[in-house]
Amino acid sequence: MIRETIRRDIADVLKKLELDWSDNFSLELPSSAEHGDYSSNVALVHGKLNKRNPRDLAGEIAALLKKKRTYRKIEVAGPGFLNMTLSSRVYHRALEAMVTAKHAFGNSNSGQRQKILIEFISANPTGPLNIVSARAAAYGDTLYRIMRRAGYAPVREFYINDAGNQVDILAESIELRYRELHGEDIGEFPVEAYHGAYVAELAQQLNTVEGNKLLHIPERDRLEKMKEFALQQIHDMQIASLERFGVEFDNWVSEKALRAQGMVEEVLSFLAEAGCTYEMDDAVWFSSTKFGDEKDRVLMKTDGSFTYLVPDIAYHLSKLQRGFEILIDVLGPDHHGHVVKLMAAMRALKIEEKQLEVVFLQQVNLFLDGERVKMSKREGRIVTMNELIDDVGKDAARFFFIDRRPSTHLNFDLELARKKSSENPVYYCQYAHARIYSIQKKARREKISLKDFDTSELYRLKRSDEAALIKKMLEYPHILAGAAKYREPHRLTDYTKELAGMFHKYYQAVPIVNPKAPAMSKARLYMLNALKNLLANIFEVLGIDAPQKM
RNA sequence: GCGCCAGUAGCUCAGCCGGAUAGAGCAGCGGCCUUCUAAGCCGCAGGUCCGGGGUUCGAGUCCCUGCUGGCGUGCCA
């Protein structure tokens, strides 16, 4: 709100000065208070653009801006920075507007209703969701919530790879366990099979339903039956975990269904029409080298089946056909190679490159007692999403996953996440919310109420920490919009930590509820109520609780 | 070999797509509870922003180059 006002004012001034114009100038909160409330490099940018001396230009802009009552002081500094100090009334009015906006504070239409498909997790339906999936879940879901509020039109989607090799291996793994149950000696369990305990459990469950009946039907039918059963059970398992984590999907897309619709053959003919395929060694190849890949790729194997790439191209095509303007794929670190091929295919099909955005979430390492927790998929020793939630709770897990830039490796300290103290950033932030709640309780005891509060009383908030806190709260729309635009939810946790920190300091510095000074108490309560609502609002975006008591 | 990601305080990480004197949190040291929650606050200490060039008024941020670590580089998914 304040930022928009300042930008608009500056734009008006530039128009009056009849300059070549660009909105590519900064507006930031300076680190040092001497530089005012906001500072801008607008004169530096436009000096270059219009071949003018930036300091002179800054002076002219400042002179015109000063005519508005919004600005108490404007200084030209350094090579031509504009340092602006706003009159405190501007902040108090903005605070009032923030309270009026209630839950909608921070929302914007910066996304311009752009239709965005966020595909995340898309884990193989061959086992319980693991830690990497949990990170993807937290990231994708939070990004979705952020984008909704920033005015985009996002949709959450999970792609189920329920056709192909991996699920066949799953079925075979279950079959082995099933036969084991019936006393058969299965020998050494194959290395490539799924070793997790859940496989034996699924066989057990299947046995409860079917008994030994399956032993007496043809192998093909038996495996098919086991596959169906396992896919359904695992799907339900994954949904249940996600629900505990507060994550929902709008769509689940099945690869098998996609194949049944003939989408896959269609892709092959599209590529052939584009002249990008050829036959060699009894296989069909994609000449992806023409589109930035380092070597050509097989589309149809010698046995007549498709490689993973083909249905995946089909899937992405289907997203575009459904009218999405931007496709965001949230992938694990092991998909780099795949994306190069996918991108090549997109180029071959003349799809605009920027329509497909890939966010790579890097690996997650769990630490306990300062040591890395070793995980091995092959031996079935993986930490599941459920185990993590049992251990540290949904709130800590979500917060920790979001609190890092997506592209960095994440070292997850389990002990820290378990801690219920200020060392743990989640509690630090939630505690701020609970503390304000308890201040409000005290206010009720002292019969200090905001019912007839006159906002002109806000002039009493004169302290520098009060001004800083209000300023910080008013930054929220900008933070939210930035998090959406750059697909970086961690900006929100960073901001929340700062906000909570400022509050805890303020709390320590001044008594809020003071029966001897009711007018001052009310002004402060008004501000803190706004802060409490803002915190609750952010927590909702982050998918964590806003406790009233801790 | 090639591609992607990372390299910022002892540790974990920010740094608002080029701005002013590089910031937090942990860990360390020293203080603060008769009070609205000490699940908190204050102070001290801590830096070759991996190295080297370049671009410009200005570089942790952009370009080139080298080094280190992770991942990828299947007719697996």
The DSSP result for A297-366, as a single string, is: EEEE-TTSPBPTHHHHHHHHHHHHHTT-SEEEEEE-GGGHHHHHHHHHHHHHTT--GGGEEEEEPPPEEE
Q: Which helix (H) or strand (E) holds A240?
A: helix A219-244
User: Which nucleotide has the least CA–C1' distance to A486?
Assistant: B17
* Rounded Cα distance, A532 and A550, in Å: 15
The separation between the first and the last C-alpha atoms of chain A, rounded to the nearest angstrom, is 33
Q: Which residue is nearest to nucleotide B17 (CA to C1')?
A: A486
Q: ipTM score here?
A: 0.93
Question: What are the C-alpha distances in Å from A55 to residues A26, A42, A65, A80?
Answer: 16, 11, 15, 4
Q: In Å, what is the separation between the CA of A426 and the C1' of B30?
A: 27
Are the CB atoms for A121 and A226 separated by under 8 Å?
no
Q: In Å, what is the separation between the CA of A288 and the C1' of B1?
A: 20
Q: Which residue is nearest to nucleotide B14 (CA to C1')?
A: A494
Alpha helices in A403-489 (DSSP H): 414-418, 425-445, 464-474, 476-485
- Give the list of residues 6+ apart from residue A237 with CB closer than 8 angstroms, or none: A128, A198
Q: In Å, what is the separation between the CA of A472 and the C1' of B66?
A: 43
Q: What size, in residues, is chain A?
A: 550
User: Which nucleotide has the least CA–C1' distance to A76?
Assistant: B20
User: Which nucleotide has the least CA–C1' distance to A495?
Assistant: B14
* SS3 state at A75: strand
Q: In Å, what is the separation between the CA of A336 and the C1' of B4?
A: 6
pLDDT of amino acid A25: 87
**Using CA of residue A187, residue A193, residue A197, residue A199, what is the dihedral sign?**
negative
Q: Which residue is nearest to nucleotide B57 (CA to C1')?
A: A79
pLDDT of amino acid A381: 60
User: Which nucleotide has the least CA–C1' distance to A126?
Assistant: B77
Using a 7 Å cut-off to protein CB atoms, list the covered nucleotides of chain B. 1-7, 12-27, 35-37, 39-42, 57-58, 70-77
User: Which nucleotide has the least CA–C1' distance to A446?
Assistant: B36
Q: In Å, what is the separation between the CA of A72 and the C1' of B57?
A: 28
Q: In Å, what is the separation between the CA of A296 and the C1' of B2?
A: 15
**Using CA of residue A364, residue A370, residue A374, residue A375, what is the dihedral sign?**
negative
pLDDT of amino acid A474: 94
* Rounded Cα distance, A489 and A401, in Å: 10
**∠A34-A39-A40 over CA atoms, to 5°?**
150
HEC string of A150-192 equals CCCEEEEEEEECCCCHHHHHHHHHHHHHHHHHCCCCCCCCCCC
Q: Which residue is nearest to nucleotide B12 (CA to C1')?
A: A411
Q: In Å, what is the separation between the CA of A387 and the C1' of B2?
A: 39
- Give the list of residues 6+ apart from residue A316 with CB closer than 8 angstroms, or none: A327, A342, A346, A356
User: Which nucleotide has the least CA–C1' distance to A439?
Assistant: B36
Q: In Å, what is the separation between the CA of A475 and the C1' of B16?
A: 11
**Amino acid (1-letter code) at residue A43:** A
Are the CB atoms for A327 and A119 separated by under 8 Å?
yes
**Using CA of residue A317, residue A321, residue A324, residue A326, what is the dihedral sign?**
positive
Q: In Å, what is the separation between the CA of A74 and the C1' of B60?
A: 29
Q: Which residue is nearest to nucleotide B37 (CA to C1')?
A: A435
* SS3 state at A248: coil
Q: Which helix (H) or strand (E) holds A524?
A: helix A518-542
pLDDT of amino acid A31: 76
User: Which nucleotide has the least CA–C1' distance to A24?
Assistant: B17
Q: In Å, what is the separation between the CA of A82 and the C1' of B54?
A: 30
Q: Which residue is nearest to nucleotide B26 (CA to C1')?
A: A423
User: Which nucleotide has the least CA–C1' distance to A75?
Assistant: B20
* Rounded Cα distance, A420 and A274, in Å: 60
Q: In Å, what is the separation between the CA of A335 and the C1' of B3?
A: 12
**CB-side neighbour CA atoms (13 Å) of A234:** 29
Alpha helices in A261-308 (DSSP H): 263-273
User: Which nucleotide has the least CA–C1' distance to A79?
Assistant: B57
Q: What's the farthest any 2 CA atoms get from each other in chain A?
A: 92
Q: In Å, what is the separation between the CA of A77 and the C1' of B14?
A: 27
Q: How many CB atoms lie within 10 A of CB A483?
A: 25
Per-residue pLDDT of chain A (550 residues; tens, 9 = 90+): 789 899 999 999 999 988 888 888 888 888 777 888 999 999 998 888 888 888 999 999 999 999 999 999 999 988 899 999 999 999 999 999 999 999 999 999 999 999 999 999 998 899 999 888 999 999 999 999 999 999 999 999 999 999 888 899 999 999 999 999 999 998 888 888 888 889 999 999 999 999 999 999 999 999 999 999 999 999 999 999 999 999 999 999 999 999 999 999 999 999 999 999 999 999 999 999 888 888 899 999 999 999 999 999 999 999 999 999 999 999 987 888 888 899 999 999 999 888 999 998 888 888 877 777 776 655 556 688 999 999 889 999 999 999 988 888 888 888 888 877 767 889 999 999 999 999 999 999 999 999 989 999 999 999 989 999 999 999 999 999 999 999 999 999 999 999 999 999 999 999 999 999 999 999 999 999 999 999 999 999 999 999 999 8
User: Which nucleotide has the least CA–C1' distance to A500?
Assistant: B40
Q: In Å, what is the separation between the CA of A164 and the C1' of B77?
A: 8
Q: In Å, what is the separation between the CA of A361 and the C1' of B41?
A: 36
Q: In Å, what is the separation between the CA of A192 and the C1' of B70?
A: 25
User: Which nucleotide has the least CA–C1' distance to A301?
Assistant: B75
A251 is written with which tokens? Answer: 């769509």
Q: Which residue is nearest to nucleotide B76 (CA to C1')?
A: A165
Q: Which residue is nearest to nucleotide B69 (CA to C1')?
A: A409
Distance of CA A510 to the CA centre of its chain: 36
pLDDT of amino acid A378: 53
pLDDT of amino acid A295: 87
